[in-house]
A and B are shown apart, each in its own frame.
Chain A
Protein backbone atom coordinates (compact mmCIF):
# COMPACT_ATOMS: atom_id res chain seq x y z
CA UNK A 1 0.00 0.00 0.00
CA UNK A 2 2.80 2.39 0.90
CA UNK A 3 4.01 2.21 -2.70
CA UNK A 4 0.89 4.12 -3.68
CA UNK A 5 1.05 6.88 -1.14
CA UNK A 6 3.08 9.56 -2.66
CA UNK A 7 4.65 12.78 -1.53
CA UNK A 8 5.92 13.65 -5.00
CA UNK A 9 6.32 17.39 -5.56
CA UNK A 10 4.05 18.80 -8.24
CA UNK A 11 4.23 22.16 -9.97
CA UNK A 12 1.00 24.05 -10.60
CA UNK A 13 -0.29 23.44 -14.11
CA UNK A 14 -0.15 27.15 -14.93
CA UNK A 15 3.49 27.38 -13.86
CA UNK A 16 4.39 24.36 -15.98
CA UNK A 17 2.88 26.03 -19.03
CA UNK A 18 4.63 29.30 -18.31
CA UNK A 19 8.06 27.66 -18.31
CA UNK A 20 7.81 24.59 -20.52
CA UNK A 21 6.50 23.11 -23.77
CA UNK A 22 5.13 19.58 -23.35
CA UNK A 23 5.65 16.84 -25.91
CA UNK A 24 3.52 13.71 -25.77
CA UNK A 25 3.82 10.40 -27.54
CA UNK A 26 1.25 7.64 -27.47
CA UNK A 27 1.69 3.93 -27.97
CA UNK A 28 -1.60 2.11 -28.27
CA UNK A 29 -1.87 -1.67 -28.36
CA UNK A 30 -4.95 -3.02 -30.10
CA UNK A 31 -5.87 -6.63 -29.51
CA UNK A 32 -7.39 -8.00 -32.73
CA UNK A 33 -10.64 -9.96 -32.75
CA UNK A 34 -9.40 -12.76 -34.97
CA UNK A 35 -10.72 -16.25 -34.26
CA UNK A 36 -7.23 -17.71 -33.79
CA UNK A 37 -3.89 -16.47 -32.47
CA UNK A 38 -1.19 -14.64 -34.43
CA UNK A 39 1.07 -17.61 -35.11
CA UNK A 40 -0.95 -20.71 -34.21
CA UNK A 41 -4.49 -22.06 -34.36
CA UNK A 42 -5.31 -21.61 -30.67
CA UNK A 43 -8.43 -19.57 -29.91
CA UNK A 44 -7.74 -15.85 -29.59
CA UNK A 45 -9.95 -15.51 -26.56
CA UNK A 46 -8.86 -15.55 -22.98
CA UNK A 47 -10.61 -15.65 -19.68
CA UNK A 48 -11.55 -19.34 -19.90
CA UNK A 49 -9.91 -22.08 -17.90
CA UNK A 50 -6.21 -21.25 -17.45
CA UNK A 51 -3.89 -22.78 -20.02
CA UNK A 52 -6.72 -24.50 -21.89
CA UNK A 53 -6.16 -22.44 -25.06
CA UNK A 54 -2.52 -23.21 -25.72
CA UNK A 55 -0.37 -25.38 -28.00
CA UNK A 56 3.33 -26.11 -28.52
CA UNK A 57 3.75 -22.92 -30.59
CA UNK A 58 2.40 -20.39 -28.11
CA UNK A 59 4.04 -22.26 -25.24
CA UNK A 60 7.36 -21.98 -27.06
CA UNK A 61 8.03 -25.70 -26.90
CA UNK A 62 11.12 -26.90 -28.77
CA UNK A 63 10.54 -27.60 -32.46
CA UNK A 64 7.21 -25.78 -32.72
CA UNK A 65 6.94 -23.56 -35.80
CA UNK A 66 4.83 -20.41 -36.07
CA UNK A 67 2.75 -19.55 -39.15
CA UNK A 68 1.28 -16.07 -39.67
CA UNK A 69 -2.48 -15.56 -39.43
CA UNK A 70 -3.60 -14.03 -42.76
CA UNK A 71 -6.55 -12.25 -41.16
CA UNK A 72 -4.28 -10.48 -38.67
CA UNK A 73 -2.13 -9.16 -41.52
CA UNK A 74 -5.29 -8.00 -43.27
CA UNK A 75 -6.46 -6.18 -40.11
CA UNK A 76 -3.03 -4.58 -39.68
CA UNK A 77 -3.11 -3.26 -43.24
CA UNK A 78 -6.66 -1.94 -42.86
CA UNK A 79 -5.71 -0.13 -39.62
CA UNK A 80 -2.68 1.34 -41.40
CA UNK A 81 -4.73 2.51 -44.37
CA UNK A 82 -7.34 4.07 -42.10
CA UNK A 83 -4.49 5.98 -40.42
CA UNK A 84 -3.23 7.22 -43.79
CA UNK A 85 -0.08 5.10 -43.53
CA UNK A 86 2.12 3.71 -46.27
CA UNK A 87 2.03 -0.08 -46.37
CA UNK A 88 5.42 -1.79 -46.55
CA UNK A 89 6.09 -3.66 -49.78
CA UNK A 90 8.23 -6.07 -47.80
CA UNK A 91 8.76 -6.43 -44.08
CA UNK A 92 9.90 -8.96 -41.52
CA UNK A 93 9.07 -10.06 -38.04
CA UNK A 94 11.76 -9.78 -35.37
CA UNK A 95 12.48 -11.40 -32.06
CA UNK A 96 12.44 -9.08 -29.09
CA UNK A 97 14.50 -10.93 -26.52
CA UNK A 98 13.80 -10.57 -22.85
CA UNK A 99 13.53 -12.73 -19.78
CA UNK A 100 10.18 -12.62 -18.22
CA UNK A 101 7.85 -15.57 -17.70
CA UNK A 102 4.89 -13.95 -19.50
CA UNK A 103 6.54 -15.12 -22.74
CA UNK A 104 7.61 -18.73 -22.46
CA UNK A 105 9.82 -18.45 -25.57
CA UNK A 106 11.98 -15.82 -23.84
CA UNK A 107 11.23 -13.52 -26.74
CA UNK A 108 8.18 -11.79 -28.14
CA UNK A 109 7.64 -12.04 -31.88
CA UNK A 110 7.26 -8.45 -33.01
CA UNK A 111 8.46 -6.14 -35.75
CA UNK A 112 11.49 -3.90 -35.33
CA UNK A 113 12.82 -1.60 -38.04
CA UNK A 114 10.42 -2.83 -40.72
CA UNK A 115 6.85 -2.14 -39.51
CA UNK A 116 4.06 -3.13 -41.88
CA UNK A 117 2.51 0.38 -41.69
CA UNK A 118 4.38 3.68 -41.40
CA UNK A 119 4.20 7.45 -41.96
CA UNK A 120 0.51 8.11 -41.33
CA UNK A 121 -1.60 10.70 -39.56
CA UNK A 122 -4.93 11.23 -37.89
CA UNK A 123 -6.79 14.50 -37.52
CA UNK A 124 -8.08 14.75 -33.97
CA UNK A 125 -11.15 16.86 -33.28
CA UNK A 126 -11.16 19.07 -30.19
CA UNK A 127 -13.92 21.31 -28.90
CA UNK A 128 -12.84 24.84 -28.04
CA UNK A 129 -14.46 26.98 -25.37
CA UNK A 130 -16.96 28.36 -27.89
CA UNK A 131 -18.08 24.80 -28.59
CA UNK A 132 -16.55 24.84 -32.07
CA UNK A 133 -14.55 21.97 -33.46
CA UNK A 134 -10.81 22.46 -33.96
CA UNK A 135 -8.54 19.97 -35.65
CA UNK A 136 -5.14 18.86 -34.38
CA UNK A 137 -3.05 16.62 -36.62
CA UNK A 138 -1.31 13.70 -34.91
CA UNK A 139 1.40 12.05 -36.97
CA UNK A 140 1.65 8.29 -36.87
CA UNK A 141 5.17 6.94 -36.96
CA UNK A 142 4.29 3.29 -37.36
CA UNK A 143 1.84 0.48 -36.73
CA UNK A 144 3.35 -2.96 -36.40
CA UNK A 145 2.26 -6.53 -35.75
CA UNK A 146 3.16 -8.47 -32.64
CA UNK A 147 1.73 -10.92 -30.14
CA UNK A 148 0.26 -10.50 -26.70
CA UNK A 149 1.88 -12.00 -23.62
CA UNK A 150 0.58 -14.38 -20.97
CA UNK A 151 -1.11 -13.16 -17.85
CA UNK A 152 0.70 -13.31 -14.51
CA UNK A 153 -0.88 -13.53 -11.11
CA UNK A 154 1.46 -12.50 -8.32
CA UNK A 155 1.04 -14.46 -5.15
CA UNK A 156 2.05 -13.22 -1.72
CA UNK A 157 3.18 -9.72 -0.80
CA UNK A 158 0.97 -7.00 0.55
CA UNK A 159 -0.52 -5.54 -2.60
CA UNK A 160 -0.84 -8.37 -5.08
CA UNK A 161 1.64 -6.50 -7.25
CA UNK A 162 4.97 -7.95 -8.11
CA UNK A 163 6.84 -6.06 -5.41
CA UNK A 164 6.96 -8.34 -2.43
CA UNK A 165 5.37 -11.24 -4.30
CA UNK A 166 6.66 -14.65 -3.33
CA UNK A 167 6.00 -16.27 -6.70
CA UNK A 168 3.88 -15.84 -9.82
CA UNK A 169 1.31 -17.99 -11.56
CA UNK A 170 1.12 -17.74 -15.33
CA UNK A 171 -1.75 -18.41 -17.73
CA UNK A 172 -0.69 -18.50 -21.38
CA UNK A 173 -4.15 -18.34 -22.96
CA UNK A 174 -3.48 -14.72 -23.92
CA UNK A 175 0.06 -15.39 -25.17
CA UNK A 176 0.07 -15.14 -28.94
CA UNK A 177 -3.16 -13.19 -29.44
CA UNK A 178 -2.51 -10.73 -32.30
CA UNK A 179 -1.69 -7.17 -31.31
CA UNK A 180 -1.19 -4.10 -33.43
CA UNK A 181 0.95 -1.45 -31.78
CA UNK A 182 0.30 2.06 -33.07
CA UNK A 183 2.98 4.62 -32.29
CA UNK A 184 2.72 8.38 -32.78
CA UNK A 185 5.58 10.75 -33.49
CA UNK A 186 6.23 13.22 -30.65
CA UNK A 187 3.20 15.49 -30.52
CA UNK A 188 4.46 19.02 -29.98
CA UNK A 189 2.75 22.38 -29.94
CA UNK A 190 -0.35 21.27 -28.04
CA UNK A 191 0.64 23.39 -25.04
CA UNK A 192 -2.02 23.53 -22.37
CA UNK A 193 -4.20 21.23 -24.43
CA UNK A 194 -1.67 18.37 -24.39
CA UNK A 195 -3.70 16.25 -21.93
CA UNK A 196 -6.87 16.88 -23.94
CA UNK A 197 -5.16 16.04 -27.25
CA UNK A 198 -3.88 12.77 -25.79
CA UNK A 199 -7.35 11.80 -24.60
CA UNK A 200 -9.06 12.83 -27.85
CA UNK A 201 -6.49 10.92 -29.91
CA UNK A 202 -7.06 7.68 -28.01
CA UNK A 203 -10.85 8.14 -28.09
CA UNK A 204 -10.89 8.82 -31.80
CA UNK A 205 -8.49 5.97 -32.50
CA UNK A 206 -10.82 3.65 -30.63
CA UNK A 207 -13.75 4.88 -32.68
CA UNK A 208 -11.80 4.15 -35.86
CA UNK A 209 -10.90 0.65 -34.66
CA UNK A 210 -14.56 -0.02 -33.86
CA UNK A 211 -15.64 1.24 -37.30
CA UNK A 212 -13.07 -1.09 -38.89
CA UNK A 213 -14.48 -3.98 -36.87
CA UNK A 214 -10.99 -5.37 -36.16
CA UNK A 215 -11.16 -5.41 -32.35
CA UNK A 216 -13.64 -5.35 -29.51
CA UNK A 217 -11.62 -2.27 -28.50
CA UNK A 218 -12.79 -2.25 -24.88
CA UNK A 219 -10.31 -0.40 -22.71
CA UNK A 220 -11.76 -1.84 -19.51
CA UNK A 221 -11.15 -5.34 -20.88
CA UNK A 222 -7.60 -4.53 -22.02
CA UNK A 223 -8.42 -4.89 -25.73
CA UNK A 224 -7.03 -1.39 -26.13
CA UNK A 225 -4.11 -0.31 -23.93
CA UNK A 226 -2.35 3.02 -23.98
CA UNK A 227 1.20 3.89 -22.93
CA UNK A 228 1.73 7.59 -22.47
CA UNK A 229 5.11 9.23 -23.11
CA UNK A 230 5.71 12.70 -21.84
CA UNK A 231 8.60 15.14 -21.79
CA UNK A 232 9.02 18.84 -21.14
CA UNK A 233 11.38 21.24 -22.89
CA UNK A 234 12.18 24.85 -21.98
CA UNK A 235 9.49 27.06 -23.49
CA UNK A 236 10.24 28.08 -27.04
CA UNK A 237 13.36 25.89 -27.32
CA UNK A 238 11.82 23.56 -29.90
CA UNK A 239 13.77 20.66 -28.40
CA UNK A 240 12.68 17.42 -26.76
CA UNK A 241 13.39 16.76 -23.11
CA UNK A 242 13.93 13.41 -21.39
CA UNK A 243 10.73 11.38 -21.44
CA UNK A 244 8.98 9.01 -19.11
CA UNK A 245 6.67 6.25 -20.31
CA UNK A 246 3.55 5.63 -18.24
CA UNK A 247 2.23 2.14 -18.88
CA UNK A 248 -1.25 0.67 -19.21
CA UNK A 249 -3.42 3.71 -18.85
CA UNK A 250 -6.79 2.11 -19.31
CA UNK A 251 -9.46 4.77 -19.79
CA UNK A 252 -9.74 7.96 -21.84
CA UNK A 253 -10.02 10.01 -18.69
CA UNK A 254 -6.90 8.43 -17.24
CA UNK A 255 -4.93 9.24 -20.39
CA UNK A 256 -5.75 12.89 -19.81
CA UNK A 257 -5.00 12.73 -16.10
CA UNK A 258 -1.72 10.86 -16.56
CA UNK A 259 -0.39 13.44 -19.03
CA UNK A 260 -1.35 16.26 -16.72
CA UNK A 261 0.18 14.56 -13.69
CA UNK A 262 3.47 13.84 -15.43
CA UNK A 263 3.65 17.43 -16.73
CA UNK A 264 3.32 18.69 -13.16
CA UNK A 265 5.80 16.15 -11.80
CA UNK A 266 8.42 16.84 -14.49
CA UNK A 267 7.89 20.59 -14.04
CA UNK A 268 8.64 20.38 -10.32
CA UNK A 269 11.83 18.36 -10.86
CA UNK A 270 13.17 20.46 -13.73
CA UNK A 271 12.46 23.83 -12.13
CA UNK A 272 14.27 22.62 -9.04
CA UNK A 273 17.40 22.04 -11.15
CA UNK A 274 16.89 18.28 -11.26
CA UNK A 275 16.84 16.00 -14.26
CA UNK A 276 14.27 13.48 -15.40
CA UNK A 277 15.15 9.84 -15.13
CA UNK A 278 14.20 8.03 -18.34
CA UNK A 279 12.03 5.29 -16.93
CA UNK A 280 8.82 3.35 -17.10
CA UNK A 281 6.14 4.56 -14.69
CA UNK A 282 2.95 2.97 -13.46
CA UNK A 283 -0.38 4.71 -13.42
CA UNK A 284 -2.58 4.25 -10.37
CA UNK A 285 -6.18 4.73 -11.31
CA UNK A 286 -7.38 5.04 -7.70
CA UNK A 287 -4.99 7.73 -6.50
CA UNK A 288 -4.32 9.44 -9.84
CA UNK A 289 -0.54 9.31 -9.50
CA UNK A 290 2.33 7.56 -11.27
CA UNK A 291 5.08 5.68 -9.51
CA UNK A 292 8.48 4.59 -10.69
CA UNK A 293 8.68 1.30 -12.57
CA UNK A 294 12.00 0.29 -13.95
CA UNK A 295 14.82 2.36 -15.29
CA UNK A 296 15.56 2.10 -18.97
CA UNK A 297 18.86 0.26 -18.77
CA UNK A 298 20.53 -2.92 -19.87
CA UNK A 299 17.24 -4.72 -19.55
CA UNK A 300 15.95 -2.58 -22.43
CA UNK A 301 18.58 -3.97 -24.76
CA UNK A 302 16.28 -6.38 -26.53
CA UNK A 303 18.81 -7.66 -29.07
CA UNK A 304 16.22 -7.64 -31.85
CA UNK A 305 17.02 -9.81 -34.84
CA UNK A 306 14.98 -11.00 -37.83
CA UNK A 307 12.72 -13.93 -36.93
CA UNK A 308 14.19 -16.88 -38.83
CA UNK A 309 11.07 -19.06 -38.42
CA UNK A 310 8.77 -16.68 -40.32
CA UNK A 311 9.24 -15.62 -43.92
CA UNK A 312 8.86 -11.93 -44.84
CA UNK A 313 5.43 -10.42 -45.45
CA UNK A 314 5.14 -8.74 -48.85
CA UNK A 315 1.57 -7.51 -49.37
CA UNK A 316 0.87 -7.11 -53.08
CA UNK A 317 -0.31 -3.66 -54.15
CA UNK A 318 -3.45 -5.33 -55.52
CA UNK A 319 -4.26 -6.71 -52.07
CA UNK A 320 -3.59 -3.36 -50.41
CA UNK A 321 -5.90 -1.57 -52.86
CA UNK A 322 -8.56 -4.25 -52.40
CA UNK A 323 -8.39 -3.67 -48.63
CA UNK A 324 -8.52 0.09 -49.13
CA UNK A 325 -11.87 -0.53 -50.82
CA UNK A 326 -13.19 -2.16 -47.62
CA UNK A 327 -12.49 0.83 -45.36
CA UNK A 328 -15.54 2.30 -43.63
CA UNK A 329 -16.26 5.98 -43.93
CA UNK A 330 -13.90 7.89 -41.69
CA UNK A 331 -15.77 8.40 -38.39
CA UNK A 332 -15.02 12.14 -38.32
CA UNK A 333 -16.30 12.62 -41.86
CA UNK A 334 -19.34 10.47 -41.12
CA UNK A 335 -20.22 12.47 -37.99
CA UNK A 336 -19.97 15.76 -39.87
CA UNK A 337 -22.14 14.40 -42.70
CA UNK A 338 -24.83 13.06 -40.36
CA UNK A 339 -24.88 16.16 -38.19
CA UNK A 340 -25.47 18.36 -41.23
CA UNK A 341 -28.18 16.06 -42.57
CA UNK A 342 -29.99 15.86 -39.22
CA UNK A 343 -29.57 19.48 -38.17
CA UNK A 344 -28.25 18.48 -34.72
CA UNK A 345 -26.39 21.03 -32.59
CA UNK A 346 -22.80 20.19 -31.60
CA UNK A 347 -24.06 19.33 -28.14
CA UNK A 348 -26.79 17.02 -29.43
CA UNK A 349 -24.29 15.30 -31.69
CA UNK A 350 -21.73 14.90 -28.92
CA UNK A 351 -24.34 13.39 -26.60
CA UNK A 352 -25.51 11.00 -29.30
CA UNK A 353 -21.98 9.81 -30.01
CA UNK A 354 -21.16 9.69 -26.31
CA UNK A 355 -24.18 7.48 -25.61
CA UNK A 356 -22.98 5.05 -28.28
CA UNK A 357 -26.25 5.65 -30.12
CA UNK A 358 -25.05 7.18 -33.40
CA UNK A 359 -25.66 4.08 -35.48
CA UNK A 360 -28.97 3.39 -33.74
CA UNK A 361 -30.23 6.92 -34.36
CA UNK A 362 -29.08 6.68 -37.97
CA UNK A 363 -30.99 3.42 -38.52
CA UNK A 364 -34.08 4.78 -36.79
CA UNK A 365 -34.09 7.78 -39.08
CA UNK A 366 -33.61 5.48 -42.07
CA UNK A 367 -36.75 3.66 -40.89
CA UNK A 368 -38.69 6.89 -41.24
CA UNK A 369 -38.49 8.68 -37.87
CA UNK A 370 -37.71 12.39 -37.72
CA UNK A 371 -34.10 13.01 -36.54
CA UNK A 372 -35.11 14.83 -33.34
CA UNK A 373 -37.66 12.13 -32.47
CA UNK A 374 -35.09 9.37 -33.02
CA UNK A 375 -32.59 11.23 -30.84
CA UNK A 376 -35.18 11.90 -28.14
CA UNK A 377 -36.13 8.24 -27.67
CA UNK A 378 -32.60 6.80 -27.83
CA UNK A 379 -31.03 9.41 -25.55
CA UNK A 380 -34.00 9.62 -23.21
CA UNK A 381 -36.12 6.57 -22.53
CA UNK A 382 -33.68 4.01 -23.95
CA UNK A 383 -30.42 5.48 -22.57
CA UNK A 384 -32.12 5.50 -19.17
CA UNK A 385 -33.09 1.84 -19.51
CA UNK A 386 -29.59 0.94 -20.68
CA UNK A 387 -28.15 2.58 -17.55
CA UNK A 388 -30.69 1.07 -15.20
CA UNK A 389 -30.31 -2.44 -16.61
CA UNK A 390 -26.53 -2.19 -17.05
CA UNK A 391 -26.91 -3.23 -20.68
CA UNK A 392 -25.10 -1.60 -23.60
CA UNK A 393 -27.61 0.49 -25.49
CA UNK A 394 -27.05 -1.55 -28.67
CA UNK A 395 -27.95 -4.69 -26.74
CA UNK A 396 -31.38 -3.51 -25.57
CA UNK A 397 -34.08 -5.85 -26.90
CA UNK A 398 -35.57 -3.27 -29.26
CA UNK A 399 -34.73 -2.50 -32.88
CA UNK A 400 -34.41 0.87 -34.63
CA UNK A 401 -37.37 -0.20 -36.81
CA UNK A 402 -39.50 -0.68 -33.68
CA UNK A 403 -38.47 2.73 -32.33
CA UNK A 404 -39.42 4.29 -35.67
CA UNK A 405 -42.78 2.47 -35.56
CA UNK A 406 -43.55 3.78 -32.06
CA UNK A 407 -42.78 7.31 -33.26
CA UNK A 408 -45.09 6.72 -36.25
CA UNK A 409 -47.84 5.76 -33.77
CA UNK A 410 -47.20 9.06 -31.97
CA UNK A 411 -47.23 10.96 -35.26
CA UNK A 412 -50.60 9.55 -36.34
CA UNK A 413 -51.97 10.15 -32.83
CA UNK A 414 -52.60 6.49 -32.09
CA UNK A 415 -50.66 7.06 -28.86
CA UNK A 416 -49.37 10.17 -27.13
CA UNK A 417 -45.87 10.58 -25.67
CA UNK A 418 -46.93 9.25 -22.30
CA UNK A 419 -48.55 6.13 -23.74
CA UNK A 420 -45.55 5.70 -26.04
CA UNK A 421 -43.39 5.19 -22.95
CA UNK A 422 -45.62 2.26 -22.02
CA UNK A 423 -45.23 0.88 -25.54
CA UNK A 424 -41.43 1.01 -25.09
CA UNK A 425 -41.82 -0.79 -21.79
CA UNK A 426 -43.90 -3.51 -23.43
CA UNK A 427 -41.53 -4.01 -26.35
CA UNK A 428 -38.51 -4.14 -24.01
CA UNK A 429 -40.39 -6.67 -21.86
CA UNK A 430 -40.78 -8.90 -24.91
CA UNK A 431 -44.54 -8.42 -25.31
CA UNK A 432 -44.21 -8.18 -29.08
CA UNK A 433 -44.14 -5.50 -31.75
CA UNK A 434 -45.23 -1.93 -30.93
CA UNK A 435 -48.65 -2.54 -32.55
CA UNK A 436 -49.11 -5.74 -30.57
CA UNK A 437 -48.23 -3.95 -27.34
CA UNK A 438 -50.74 -1.18 -28.09
CA UNK A 439 -53.36 -3.83 -28.83
CA UNK A 440 -52.62 -6.09 -25.84
CA UNK A 441 -52.28 -3.28 -23.32
CA UNK A 442 -55.19 -1.33 -24.79
CA UNK A 443 -53.03 1.77 -25.10
CA UNK A 444 -54.54 3.50 -28.14
CA UNK A 445 -55.76 7.00 -27.41
CA UNK A 446 -59.44 7.77 -27.78
CA UNK A 447 -60.19 10.41 -30.38
CA UNK A 448 -63.81 9.38 -30.91
CA UNK A 449 -65.91 12.52 -30.31
CA UNK A 450 -68.74 10.63 -28.62
CA UNK A 451 -66.57 9.24 -25.79
CA UNK A 452 -64.44 12.39 -25.55
CA UNK A 453 -67.49 14.72 -25.63
CA UNK A 454 -69.03 13.01 -22.60
CA UNK A 455 -65.79 13.31 -20.64
CA UNK A 456 -65.43 16.98 -21.63
CA UNK A 457 -69.00 17.67 -20.43
CA UNK A 458 -68.18 16.01 -17.11
CA UNK A 459 -65.04 18.08 -16.71
CA UNK A 460 -66.88 21.33 -17.46
CA UNK A 461 -69.63 20.45 -14.99
CA UNK A 462 -67.12 19.63 -12.30
CA UNK A 463 -65.07 22.84 -12.81
CA UNK A 464 -67.52 25.73 -13.38
CA UNK A 465 -64.97 28.41 -12.35
CA UNK A 466 -62.45 27.29 -14.93
CA UNK A 467 -65.17 27.00 -17.56
CA UNK A 468 -66.11 30.62 -16.92
CA UNK A 469 -62.53 31.78 -17.41
CA UNK A 470 -62.41 30.04 -20.76
CA UNK A 471 -65.72 31.63 -21.73
CA UNK A 472 -64.08 34.97 -20.87
CA UNK A 473 -61.39 34.20 -23.44
CA UNK A 474 -58.68 32.84 -21.13
CA UNK A 475 -57.90 29.86 -23.35
CA UNK A 476 -54.77 29.01 -21.33
CA UNK A 477 -57.09 27.77 -18.58
CA UNK A 478 -58.16 24.92 -20.88
CA UNK A 479 -55.13 22.98 -19.65
CA UNK A 480 -56.80 22.25 -16.33
CA UNK A 481 -59.88 20.83 -18.07
CA UNK A 482 -57.71 18.75 -20.42
CA UNK A 483 -56.02 17.35 -17.33
CA UNK A 484 -59.38 16.40 -15.85
CA UNK A 485 -60.47 14.68 -19.06
CA UNK A 486 -57.14 12.83 -19.24
CA UNK A 487 -57.62 11.61 -15.70
CA UNK A 488 -61.08 10.31 -16.48
CA UNK A 489 -59.84 8.65 -19.67
CA UNK A 490 -56.81 7.19 -17.84
CA UNK A 491 -54.40 9.13 -20.05
CA UNK A 492 -55.75 7.67 -23.23
CA UNK A 493 -57.47 10.73 -24.65
CA UNK A 494 -56.22 12.58 -27.72
CA UNK A 495 -55.21 15.80 -25.99
CA UNK A 496 -55.35 17.87 -29.16
CA UNK A 497 -58.90 16.81 -29.93
CA UNK A 498 -59.94 17.34 -26.29
CA UNK A 499 -58.68 20.90 -26.44
CA UNK A 500 -60.62 21.53 -29.66
CA UNK A 501 -63.81 20.13 -28.09
CA UNK A 502 -63.45 22.28 -24.95
CA UNK A 503 -62.99 25.45 -26.97
CA UNK A 504 -65.92 24.53 -29.26
CA UNK A 505 -68.20 23.97 -26.29
CA UNK A 506 -67.11 27.08 -24.37
CA UNK A 507 -66.17 29.39 -27.26
Chain B
Protein backbone atom coordinates (compact mmCIF):
# COMPACT_ATOMS: atom_id res chain seq x y z
CA UNK B 1 0.00 0.00 0.00
CA UNK B 2 1.56 3.33 -1.03
CA UNK B 3 2.13 5.77 1.72
CA UNK B 4 0.28 9.09 1.53
CA UNK B 5 2.65 12.00 1.16
CA UNK B 6 2.63 15.27 2.99
CA UNK B 7 1.89 17.07 -0.29
CA UNK B 8 -1.13 14.85 -0.91
CA UNK B 9 -2.49 15.57 2.52
CA UNK B 10 -2.02 19.29 1.91
CA UNK B 11 -3.89 18.97 -1.39
CA UNK B 12 -6.76 17.06 0.22
CA UNK B 13 -6.95 19.65 2.98
CA UNK B 14 -7.33 22.37 0.34
CA UNK B 15 -10.08 20.46 -1.43
CA UNK B 16 -11.89 19.87 1.84
CA UNK B 17 -11.48 23.52 2.83
CA UNK B 18 -9.53 22.59 5.96
CA UNK B 19 -6.91 25.16 6.86
CA UNK B 20 -3.87 23.25 8.13
CA UNK B 21 -0.70 24.91 9.35
CA UNK B 22 2.71 23.46 8.48
CA UNK B 23 3.01 22.11 11.99
CA UNK B 24 -0.37 20.43 11.71
CA UNK B 25 0.57 18.91 8.37
CA UNK B 26 3.79 17.55 9.85
CA UNK B 27 1.79 16.05 12.66
CA UNK B 28 -1.22 14.67 10.70
CA UNK B 29 0.31 13.40 7.45
CA UNK B 30 2.18 10.47 9.07
CA UNK B 31 -0.92 9.61 11.14
CA UNK B 32 -3.14 9.46 8.06
CA UNK B 33 -0.57 7.26 6.41
CA UNK B 34 -0.69 4.81 9.31
CA UNK B 35 -4.49 4.76 9.19
CA UNK B 36 -4.46 3.96 5.47
CA UNK B 37 -1.95 1.18 5.99
CA UNK B 38 -4.09 -0.31 8.73
CA UNK B 39 -7.17 -0.29 6.54
CA UNK B 40 -5.17 -1.70 3.65
CA UNK B 41 -4.41 -4.80 5.73
CA UNK B 42 -7.96 -5.92 4.87
CA UNK B 43 -6.79 -6.64 1.33
CA UNK B 44 -4.53 -9.28 2.77
CA UNK B 45 -7.50 -11.06 4.32
CA UNK B 46 -9.79 -11.03 1.26
CA UNK B 47 -9.02 -13.86 -1.16
CA UNK B 48 -8.90 -13.51 -4.91
CA UNK B 49 -12.53 -14.63 -5.05
CA UNK B 50 -13.69 -11.55 -3.13
CA UNK B 51 -14.06 -8.59 -5.51
CA UNK B 52 -13.81 -5.05 -4.18
CA UNK B 53 -17.23 -3.62 -3.43
CA UNK B 54 -18.82 -0.36 -2.42
CA UNK B 55 -21.91 -1.95 -0.92
CA UNK B 56 -21.86 -4.64 1.72
CA UNK B 57 -25.32 -6.02 0.93
CA UNK B 58 -26.00 -7.39 -2.59
CA UNK B 59 -29.15 -5.37 -3.18
CA UNK B 60 -30.13 -3.60 -6.40
CA UNK B 61 -33.10 -1.59 -7.70
CA UNK B 62 -34.50 -0.10 -4.53
CA UNK B 63 -36.92 2.44 -5.96
CA UNK B 64 -39.80 4.60 -4.82
CA UNK B 65 -42.89 5.37 -6.83
CA UNK B 66 -43.02 8.85 -8.37
CA UNK B 67 -45.43 10.25 -5.81
CA UNK B 68 -45.26 13.60 -4.05
CA UNK B 69 -45.24 13.40 -0.26
CA UNK B 70 -45.37 16.41 2.03
CA UNK B 71 -41.98 17.60 3.26
CA UNK B 72 -41.15 20.52 5.48
CA UNK B 73 -42.78 23.93 5.58
CA UNK B 74 -40.53 26.82 4.61
CA UNK B 75 -40.57 27.85 8.25
CA UNK B 76 -39.38 24.43 9.37
CA UNK B 77 -36.83 24.23 6.57
CA UNK B 78 -35.32 27.56 7.55
CA UNK B 79 -35.53 27.07 11.32
CA UNK B 80 -31.91 25.93 11.64
CA UNK B 81 -30.43 28.49 9.26
CA UNK B 82 -27.96 30.96 10.78
CA UNK B 83 -29.36 33.72 8.56
CA UNK B 84 -32.52 34.05 6.50
CA UNK B 85 -33.82 36.70 4.12
CA UNK B 86 -37.09 36.52 2.21
CA UNK B 87 -37.55 32.81 3.05
CA UNK B 88 -34.14 32.04 1.56
CA UNK B 89 -30.98 30.80 3.18
CA UNK B 90 -28.54 33.67 3.42
CA UNK B 91 -24.95 32.55 2.82
CA UNK B 92 -21.65 34.41 2.65
CA UNK B 93 -20.48 35.31 -0.82
CA UNK B 94 -18.25 32.74 -2.45
CA UNK B 95 -14.89 33.99 -3.59
CA UNK B 96 -13.25 32.85 -6.78
CA UNK B 97 -16.05 30.57 -7.90
CA UNK B 98 -18.94 31.03 -10.25
CA UNK B 99 -22.66 30.61 -10.01
A interface residue numbers (CB < 8 A to B): 34-36, 40-43, 49-56, 58-59, 67-73, 90, 92, 97, 99-102, 104, 152-156, 161-162, 165-172, 280, 282, 293-294, 298-299, 301, 303, 305-306, 308, 310-315
Contact = CB atoms under 8 A, between A and B. Distances in A.
Interface in B41-88: 54-55, 57, 59-74, 77-78, 85-88
Given A35-B66, A169-B90, A299 B97 contact: yes
Contacts of A35: 66-68
Contacts of A54: 71-72, 74, 77
A49 B77 contact: no
A314 B97 contact: no
B32 to A, nearest CB: 15
B94 A100 contact: yes
The 8 A-B pairs at the shortest CB distance, nearest first, are namely A55-B71, A41-B69, A71-B66, A306-B54, A169-B88, A70-B63, A314-B60, A50-B87
A92 B59 CA distance: 12
B75 to A, nearest CB: 9
Given A35-B67, A69-B64, A172 B77 contact: yes
Interface of B: 11, 14-15, 17, 54-55, 57, 59-74, 77-78, 85-94, 96-99
20 contacts: A35-B66, A36-B67, A52-B77, A54-B74, A67-B64, A70-B63, A71-B65, A73-B63, A102-B99, A154-B93, A162-B99, A167-B93, A168-B90, A168-B91, A169-B89, A294-B98, A299-B97, A301-B15, A311-B55, A314-B60
Contacts of B94: 100-101, 162, 168
A371 to B, nearest CB: 39
Contact of A72 (B66, B85, B86, B99): B66
B88 A51 contact: yes
B86 A43 contact: no
A50 B86 contact: yes
- SS class, residues of chain A in contact with chain B: loop
Given A101-B94, A293-B98, A312-B60, A172 B89 contact: yes
Interface centre among B61, B70, B71, B98 (most CB of A within 10 A): B71
B94 to A, nearest CB: 6
Contact of B59 (A43, A68, A280, A311): A311
Interface centre among B63, B66, B67, B94 (most CB of A within 10 A): B66
Interface centre among B85, B90, B91, B99 (most CB of A within 10 A): B99
Contacts of B55: 306, 308, 311-312
B98 A162 contact: yes
Contacts of B54: 92, 305-306, 308
A142 B38 CA distance: 38
Contact of B60 (A90, A97, A156): A90
Given A55-B72, A102-B99, 15 more contacts: A36-B66, A42-B71, A51-B78, A54-B77, A97-B15, A100-B94, A101-B94, A156-B93, A162-B97, A165-B93, A167-B93, A168-B90, A170-B88, A171-B89, A306-B54
Contacts of B72: 54-56, 59
A36 B15 CA distance: 33
A100 B99 CA distance: 9
A49 B88 CA distance: 10
Interface centre among B17, B57, B61 (most CB of A within 10 A): B61
A59 B77 contact: yes
A35 B65 CA distance: 10
A55 B99 CA distance: 23
Contacts of B65: 70-71
